[in-house]
Structure 1
Amino acid sequence: MNTLTLGAARISYELRLYFRAGDSVFFTFLFPIVMLSIFAVAFSTSGNIGAAPDGSGGISFAAFYVPGMVAAGMLLSGVQNLGVDIAGEKGDGTLKRLGGTPLPVFSYFMGKIGMVLVSSVLQVALLLLVARFAFNVTLPGEPGKWLTFGWVFLFGVITSCVLGIALSALPRTGKSATAVVIPIVLLLQFISGVYLNFAQLPGWLQNVASIFPLKWMAQGMRSVFLPESFEAIEPGGAWDLGLVALFMGLWLVVGLMLCRLTFRWIRKDG
């Protein structure tokens, strides 16, 4: 009980720190919203995607980019935010000082993951509000769609958090964390169907992207926000939600193993 109490206190503490850091708020909280706005405005005169030959039907570019931006926000909040944040805390000695206190490792992780979950919920709520009222995107009305959204979102955010904690061991110093983590995250976004239509990527690049979790997170979100007619253009011709769960589960296990092997209050070479 004391461990959970400390973890809850850490969540509140981490949230205050997060929203006081302007750069973190922009690049992990507001970035998907800014990118959705840019794509929606840039392609506003390009007609609808998936329209019939006579130009009727289809969806707007804003609606098409919503699932990718939701998935990108999940990855940014977990992998990028925690990867950079924890590496920085190692570099400035914060983790070393925490290691000398009675704070359990579980409470520390609980604070970080809880902060990401809360901020991610706020982020996706704001993103959907912008999509609905600024760009007139029609959101799903079926309860089943929102149930799918719920488990894909929760599963994806937790997996991203675990991978972010594991990735924080890669930078040699806190100052190099952004240079190490951000290119990885950016590359995954481009090959995983966030900024580009995944079905139009070369087959070999689709196969590479299918190894990583962001592709499956984006695919799960497409099953929620895109019409059923778009299912046929997926590489397998289906949303494959079973594979979405399987690959995110595999990466969650990999991330947990890496965290167990690599996380420590003090670097080995520190």
Structure 2
Amino acid sequence: MSTSPSTATVTTSTAGPKSSLGSSLGRNLTLGFSRIKYEVRAYFRQGDSVFFTFLFPVVMLTIFSVAFSEQNFGTDDEPLTAAGFYLPGMLAAGLLLSGLQNMAIDIAMERSDGTLKRFAGTPLPIMSYFIGKIGQVFVTGVLQAALVMLVASIAFGVELPSEPSKWLTFAWVFALGVTTSAVLGIALSALPRSGKSATAVVIPIALVLQFISGVYLGFSMLPVWLQNFASIFPLKWMAQGMREVFLPASFEVMEQSESWNLPGVALATGLWLVLGLIVTRLTFRWIRKDS
């Protein structure tokens, strides 16, 4: 039976947009993944970024481990060194620094020096740009976490978990945390008015979050009202997830709900990821409207 011209036309017009959409998505992904290598190289060429985001958790872990080397953070039956106590917080802080702090400052600088304006005149899709940025945060975050754990284990004798379930928890807390931090960094990049003011705007935010989220101070040591306030933000939950992985089970009762509450970790961090995506969608522009 022959096919009428009208039927052939309908078939072609129906398949065309689907094929075009698939081709466009594939191109965006290809461009995005190709930019990850470029973004990683550019990141490690910036000495200040490498120190204040990549090496900073290692430096802080070393300082606390040496300063409190004689103190037992556990019990007589279950001793815990300073390095073991601070390791989860430093891993969580690394996610925040590599994602939120570095991303917000980096994009604000690129907007200020005209890099984003030049991108606006090229065929580079915004999706590909985001894939490159988030991929860079993920790669550097993995390297940073590995370095922090390596220093803790070799230099300070911290015994890392041996149970596969612990490493599975670490994997999803890390992946969710680093993605959320990167997306929030992109959203926060719209706040600084210029590249020069980016560090003055972003770093205090990241620093305050670290102090109230159980990174430098035991979370249970904070006043209840401050614990409740810190629970609004994702870093507290990322640190709590990391504590479940690396601290003894007896420390669970010291948490706010007297449990590790991993579903709460996933829910709170996931909500911040969604919020970051919404804010990014509403605010991100290659060129500021007021520029």
Asked whether 1:255 is paired with 2:276, we answer: yes
Instruction: Spell out the pairing of 1:101-112 with structure 2 (5 A cutoff).
Output: 101-112=122-133
Q: 1:35 maps to which residue?
A: 60
Asked whether 1:118 is paired with 2:139, we answer: yes
Q: Deviations over 1:6-43 (max 9, x none)?
A: 11121011011000100000001000000000000000
Q: 1:67 maps to which residue?
A: 88
Asked whether 1:192 is paired with 2:213, we answer: yes
Asked whether 1:49 is paired with 2:49, we answer: no
Aligned match for 1:21, one of 38, 46, 49: 46
CA RMSD of aligned residues (A): 0.6
Residue type at the aligned position of 1:208? F
Residue type at the aligned position of 1:76? L
For structure 2, the 5+ residue unaligned runs are 1-25
Whole-angstrom distance in 2 between the partners of 1:42 and 1:171? 36
Aligned match for 1:144, one of 149, 154, 165: 165
Q: Deviations over 1:74-100 (max 9, x none)?
A: 000000000000000000010000011
Aligned match for 1:227, one of 219, 240, 248: 248
Q: Is the 8 A contact 2:74 2:81 kept in 1?
A: no
Q: Deviations over 1:26-66 (max 9, x none)?
A: 001000000000000000122x11213xxx53210110000
Asked whether 1:178 is paired with 2:199, we answer: yes
Residue type at the aligned position of 1:57? E
Whole-angstrom distance in 2 between the partners of 1:2 and 1:210? 40
Whole-angstrom distance in 1 between the partners of 2:231 and 2:78? 30
Residue type at the aligned position of 2:46? A
Structure 1 stretches of at least 4 aligned residues deviating more than 3 Å after TM superposition: none
Question: 3-state DSSP class of the match of 1:267?
Answer: coil
Percent sequence identity is 69
Residue type at the aligned position of 2:95? M
TM-score in terms of structure 1 length: 0.98
Offset, 1:185: 0.2
Count of aligned pairs? 266
Offset, 1:238: 0.2
Residue type at the aligned position of 1:232? V
Question: 3-state DSSP class of the match of 2:195?
Answer: coil
Q: Deviations over 1:217-265 (max 9, x none)?
A: 0000000000100001111110000000000011001000000010000
Offset, 1:118: 0.3
Residue type at the aligned position of 2:59? V
Offset, 1:4: 1.3
Whole-angstrom distance in 1 between the partners of 2:78 and 2:129? 50
Q: Deviations over 1:146-182 (max 9, x none)?
A: 0000000000000000000000000000110000000
TM-score in terms of structure 2 length: 0.91
Aligned match for 2:265, one of 232, 244, 263: 244
Residue type at the aligned position of 1:193? G
Whole-angstrom distance in 2 between the partners of 1:45 and 1:228? 22
Asked whether 1:203 is paired with 2:231, we answer: no
Residue type at the aligned position of 1:175? K
Asked whether 1:217 is paired with 2:242, we answer: no
Question: 3-state DSSP class of the match of 1:176?
Answer: helix
For structure 1, the 5+ residue unaligned runs are none
